[in-house]
């Protein structure tokens, strides 16, 4: 949650705001500036998690007649990125009642299909995922809608080995296994309450972007409001 009281940030200027409607207008200006800066910081400092984080940044909400502006950060992953997470079993927020897109099986346990994006060689990894292996790309770049990458069907044993190799100790299968081309290069992995293996994450370093947005507003509020009052 990003929350700032405009009357405390710029008390002198706001004390001469001519009307309540003008007060709300200046608060709206500050809220839009804060949201825009938050977006900019996310795009600048994050990589593959940029889109997920930005999707969690909500629109500004005015309270107390426009004196207080609130922008919430919603969703488990955006808040883990913002505040940090020591790591652990990801089923706690991916496969349980109430988790986004989670489904209840006939046997009574929750499961979820988690998408992973992969970039083509040369991409920066932001929003589209890390660039995939060049030899894998040569195989999937001509995929049709029904094609699916499977190391068991590969003629080239070297490429098959790349596809089935587990990148991290907590992986249950190779990074590229099952890749499809659907508006981008995607793999899907199933997380389930029933299966205790895998999905143990080593942790996420806190990025603390919200305090940087607050500093930005404190430093630029005077100029932003003065400009708003001139209009």
Same domain, yes or no, for 173 and 95? yes
Q: What is the pTM of this model?
A: 0.71
Total tally of structural domains belonging to the chain = 2
Same domain, yes or no, for 93 and 172? yes
Handedness of CA 36, 42, 48, 54 (dihedral sign): negative
Same domain, yes or no, for 47 and 108? no
Same domain, yes or no, for 27 and 52? yes
3-class state of residue 73 by DSSP: strand
What does the pLDDT profile of the chain (231 residues) look like in tens digits? Answer: 778 676 676 665 556 665 677 778 888 888 999 999 999 999 999 987 888 899 999 999 998 877 789 999 998 889 999 999 999 888 888 898 888 899 999 999 999 999 888 999 987 656 677 889 999 999 999 999 899 999 998 889 999 999 999 887 767 789 999 999 988 899 999 999 888 777 888 899 999 999 999 999 988 887 877 776 666
Residue ranges making up the domain that contains 121: 89-201
3-class state of residue 200 by DSSP: strand
pLDDT of residue 168: 75
pLDDT of residue 231: 62
Same domain, yes or no, for 51 and 133? no
Same domain, yes or no, for 8 and 77? yes
Under a CB-based contact definition with an 8 Å cutoff, are residues 101 and 77 in contact?
A: no
Same domain, yes or no, for 119 and 150? yes
pLDDT of residue 230: 66
């Amino acid at each position: 949650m990003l929350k700032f009281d405009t009357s405390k940030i710029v008390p002198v200027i706001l004390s001469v705001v001519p009307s309540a409607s003008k007060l709300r207008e200046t608060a709206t200006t500050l809220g839009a500036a804060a949201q825009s800066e938050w977006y900019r910081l996310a795009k600048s400092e994050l990589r593959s998690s940029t889109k997920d984080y930005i999707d969690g940044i909500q629109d500004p909400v005015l309270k107390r007649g426009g004196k207080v502006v609130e922008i919430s950060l919603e969703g488990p992953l955006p808040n883990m990125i913002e505040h940090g997470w020591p790591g652990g079993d990801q089923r706690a927020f991916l496969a349980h009642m109430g988790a986004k897109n989670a489904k209840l099986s006939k046997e009574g346990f929750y499961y979820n299909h988690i998408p992973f994006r992969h970039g083509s060689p040369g991409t920066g990894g932001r929003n589209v995922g890390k660039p995939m292996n060049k030899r894998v790309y040569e195989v999937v770049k001509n995929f049709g809608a029904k094609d699916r990458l499977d190391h068991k069907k590969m003629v080239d044993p070297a490429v098959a080995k790349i596809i089935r190799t587990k990148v991290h100790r907590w992986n249950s299968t190779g990074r590229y296994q099952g890749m499809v081309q659907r508006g981008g290069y995607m793999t899907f992995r199933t997380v389930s309450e029933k299966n205790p293996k895998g999905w143990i994450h080593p942790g996420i370093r806190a990025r603390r972007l919200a305090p940087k947005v607050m500093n930005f507003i404190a430093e630029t509020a005077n100029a932003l409001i003065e400009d708003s009052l001139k209009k």
